[in-house]
Amino acid sequence: MLLEFSVSNFMSFKDKTTLSMIPSIQSNAKTIEIKGVKVLKFAAIYGANASGKSNLIKAFTVMEKIIYSGVSKRIKDLYCRTDNENKTKPTIFSATFYAGEKFYNYSFEVNLIEGKALSETLCEINPKTNKVKKIYSYKKGDLEFAKVFFLKDIDSFNANRITTYLFDNSKIDNKLFVTELINKDWENSKLGFIADFEDWYGSIDVNLADRPIDNMQYLDRKDERSRVGQILNELNTGVSDISFVEITKDQFVEETSKSFVEETLKDLSEKYEEVQKKDKKGKIVYTVRGDAYYRLSISQKEGLKIKTIRLYHQNCENTFDFGDESDGTKRLFDLLDIVFTSNKNSVYVIDEIERSLHPVLTYKLIQILNEELDAKNIQLIFTTHETHIMDLKLFRRDEIWFMEKDNQGHSKLFSLDIFKTRHEKIIKDGYINGLYGGIPLFKKIED
């Protein structure tokens, strides 16, 4: 679960910009409670085109990529380029989150244009008392375990391991130290924060407009396929039921291309080999999602299986391929992943949630999500232009946010709760009339 996310010197964000999922209004309505701490379920972010909404979503993506693989040359120009002096200033990411029954804050500084990781800090926090317990604080090049770590009672074996990783990391300019720690076996309970960090890191699902949710593993379960059919029928898409059909490799080639299939199967085989090293009975499931939808799996028992889905429509004897459906129906399949995910405490971050959806359909979908998020402690952060859902029946005032740029081209983020509004007020009318900001301002075209 996310409590707070902030970024500075990134794209249109010059100064520290913070998205808070901590309620700013004294009300328990529509919140999730974790160990006595209330957090919000939604953050709906409005703003004009080019106001910086998508930049905030991209900040989540870049943070993930840096943690996973380091500072890439591909992102060297993503510092705030409104001022040349920002080239030499660090870009700072910070997240406060809940994982493994504890609350943490993790922050790091990087220089994007030079491709360097500079420093990072991980703390355990108590949101009720604001007490901070520092776990480690690292500057690139630090080599002494005792200088970096503040935990006691770590056995000498693991202390020596960490010292080795400190040395290794000092030789790699673009990688964070936490990247050295994750994805390794740690049995010492004093190092449980590493597993907690991995759980949190793995719980964030970021979806840009050109990179939709493409897993959809909920379709593997027959009972949930039936429920999906019910929801799609309720949303009046025409779809009433879903089934999987096994196809041959030749059919897969015919429906896609030979080179695509060869590349996909090669990737699948390489991943399967890695699983086999750990578990001979292990299974790999692979999703191919584009205009069509395929589910590939490989295991020792069944070998290679390739399946695609067929869709049934009401009052129609024939079935339809996934590619036959409208963009809106395909988009619903993506978003229903949130409803049926088995991963509790997840955070979905979505750009343009209303894309390809009718306003009434978007409203109904948010209602469905609202009911489902409670049971699984799931948060949904999204950007949108859809004013039809700007409704205090759907969201709390502190769940509605606005993004706009100042005269220097810097993005500013603020929530509706800073304005004095009556609960029954029609918020969208005030927004369209410019009462809260975050709308397009047009210049007069001179002859």
Whether 175 and 91 map to the same domain: the answer is yes
Report the alpha-carbon distance of residue 110 to residue 114 in Å, rounded.
9
Quick: pLDDT tens for 212-266: 565 667 777 778 888 888 888 888 888 888 888 899 999 999 988 899 899 989 9
Residues 371, 241, single domain; the answer is no
Q: Three-state DSSP class for 323?
A: helix
Residue 103 lies in a domain: yes
Q: What is the pTM of this model?
A: 0.87
C-alpha distances (whole Å) from 267 to each of 167, 261, 292, 298 are 33, 10, 19, 12
Contacts of 4 (CB under 8 A, 6+ apart): 18, 19, 20, 21, 22, 94, 95, 96
The residue ranges of the chain whose pLDDT is under 50 are 424, 441-443, 447
pLDDT at 233: 84
Per-residue model confidence (pLDDT) at position 128: 83
Whether residue 445 sits in one domain with residue 392: yes
Alpha carbons 286 and 240: distance in angstroms, whole number: 25
| 356 and 412 share one domain | yes
Block residue for tokens 């509706």:
416
Is residue 338 assigned to a domain?
Answer: no
Predicted local distance difference test score (pLDDT) of residue 3? 95
Q: What is the residue range of 247's domain? A: 213-331
Say whether both 388 and 353 belong to one domain.
yes
Q: Which of 83, 96, 147, 98 is nearest to 119 (CA)?
A: 147
Provide the domain count of the chain.
2
Select from 268, 300, 331 the last residue of a domain: 331
Same domain, 234 and 308: yes
Domain boundary among 299, 331, 363: 331
Asked if 388 and 325 sit in the same domain, the reply is: no
Domain membership of residue 336 (yes or no) is no
Same domain, 360 and 405: yes
- Judge if 352 and 305 occupy the same domain: no
Final residue in a domain of this structure, among 331, 354, 376 = 331
